[in-house]
Structure formats: structure tokens, C-alpha cells
Amino acid sequence: MLRHTFASNFLMDRVGNLNDLMNYLSHADTETTKIYAHLSSEYQADIVKRLEKSQQSIN
């Protein structure tokens, strides 16, 4: 459980990206790392909002 919490917070707090986390956890590939990273629905909604805002500034 601690490993899952660490991985999720590592990404949601923007400490690093998935490749950084993969290396930190000593995984051979990102598919293994994805098992440990669970992004909250609030975090995912924030990403969507930022992408929408970015898209609006392009148009």
C-alpha cells in the first residue's frame, strides 16, 4: 500500500514524470510503474481543465 501511495503522490505532486518514477522504483518498464500510480479524479479533472484552457489559447 505504501508503494502505491508514494507512486501516486509522486506524480500528482509533480515531483517528476512517469519515467522518473519508473527509474526511482527500479522498474524495467513503465507498464509495471503504471500498476502503482493511481491518479485521483480531482487530479484528472484538473488536467482536463488545463488542456481545455491550453486549447482555447491556441484558437
**Whether residue 59 has pLDDT greater than 80:** no
Residue 23 grid coordinates:
527509474
* pTM for the model: 0.74
> How far are the Cα atoms of 11, 12, 27, 48 from residue 57, in angstroms, in the given order?
26, 24, 37, 14
The residue segments making up the domain with residue 9 are: 2-58
What's the pLDDT band for 1 if we cut at 50, 70, 90? confident
Per residue in 5-20, pLDDT tens?
999 999 999 999 999 9
Domains identified in the chain, total number? 1
Is 14:40 a contact under the CB 8 Å cutoff? Answer: no
